[in-house]
């Protein structure tokens, strides 16, 4: 074997080695057991507060946790059950605490953190269906309202794991709309917060993911005009 041939073979070996290493680096991993540090503390707080049959429960992650729903909606029976950083598996873990109170209504927004953690869309959708079926089974008179996911805005450059995954948001939102039935009302949040470039409106967010008070005002008006609070 001459010198030139040895160089060619050596080069090919390097290419194959790089390709193999690069493929391994691109393998997607995810963890259904991930819970925010405040998870157990918040559950204890919620337990103390309790839920009653007249209550409207707002269930989700930091986007839900980020406002005082009772004050925002002038609705004393509104209960905030948002936990910052939560995912669909976390909601399922604490769902019995909501169901046992047999509230009048439950409003659910969850999933963007699942997407950021690379949890497969099919599993997120499965969990949506499990959330709905468990509420139906455990509290038959509770009206269920399920939100489409909000868009994000990568121009803020603060939540990189949440950006660049718009196709996942769009797919899940299309599937969420199919969950509507006699007991499940779908509320399309996404459409109300979208700018001309298909991003979360910059004037409604302070970091490309969470909402400003102005964003919650848009949300509140949508709920009021839609008759969802009656």
How far, in Å, CA of 134 to CA of 128, rounded? 10
Looking at the domain assignment, is residue 29 inside a domain?
A: no
Looking at the domain assignment, is residue 17 inside a domain?
A: no
Q: Given this model, what pLDDT does residue 41 score?
A: 97
Q: Given this model, what pLDDT does residue 27 score?
A: 62
How far, in Å, CA of 14 to CA of 131, rounded? 49
Looking at the domain assignment, is residue 202 inside a domain?
A: yes
Q: Given this model, what pLDDT does residue 12 score?
A: 41
Structural domain span for residue 166:
36-225
Looking at the domain assignment, is residue 15 inside a domain?
A: no
Looking at the domain assignment, is residue 16 inside a domain?
A: no
Looking at the domain assignment, is residue 178 inside a domain?
A: yes
The sign of the CA dihedral 52, 55, 56, 62 is: negative
Over residues 64-104, the pLDDT tens digits come to 999 999 999 999 999 999 999 999 999 999 999 999 999 99
Task: Say if residues 188 and 145 touch (Cβ distance below 8 Å).
Answer: no
Q: Given this model, what pLDDT does residue 38 score?
A: 96
Residues of the chain with pLDDT under 50: 2-26
Q: Given this model, what pLDDT does residue 26 score?
A: 46
Looking at the domain assignment, is residue 198 inside a domain?
A: yes
Look at the chain and report how many structural domains it folds into: 1
- Among candidates 42, 183, 182, 217, which has minimal Cα distance to 105? 183
Looking at the domain assignment, is residue 2 inside a domain?
A: no
We report the CATH number of the domain holding residue 127 as 3.40.50.1110
């Amino acid at each position: 074997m001459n010198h030139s041939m040895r160089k060619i073979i050596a080069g090919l070996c390097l290419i194959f080695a790089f390709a193999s290493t690069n493929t391994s680096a691109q393998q997607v991993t995810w963890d259904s057991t991930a819970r925010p540090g405040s998870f157990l503390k918040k559950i204890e707080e919620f337990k103390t507060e309790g839920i009653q049959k007249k209550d409207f429960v707002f269930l989700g992650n930091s986007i839900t946790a980020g406002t005082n729903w009772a004050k925002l909606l002038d609705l004393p029976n509104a209960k905030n059950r948002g936990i910052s950083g939560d995912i669909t598996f976390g909601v399922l873990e604490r769902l019995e605490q909501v169901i046992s109170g047999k509230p009048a209504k439950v409003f659910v927004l969850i999933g963007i953190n699942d997407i950021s953690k690379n949890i497969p869309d099919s599993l997120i959708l499965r969990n949506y269906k499990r959330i709905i079926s468990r509420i139906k089974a455990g509290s038959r008179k509770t009206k269920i309202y399920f939100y489409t996911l909000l868009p994000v805005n990568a121009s803020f450059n603060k939540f990189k794991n949440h950006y660049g995954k718009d196709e996942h948001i769009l797919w899940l939102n299309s599937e969420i709309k199919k969950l509507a039935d006699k007991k499940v009302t779908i509320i399309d949040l996404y459409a109300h917060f979208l700018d001309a470039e298909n991003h979360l409106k910059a004037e409604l967010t302070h970091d490309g993911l969470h909402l400003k008070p102005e964003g919650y005002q848009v949300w509140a008006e949508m709920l009021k005009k839609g008759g969802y609070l009656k």
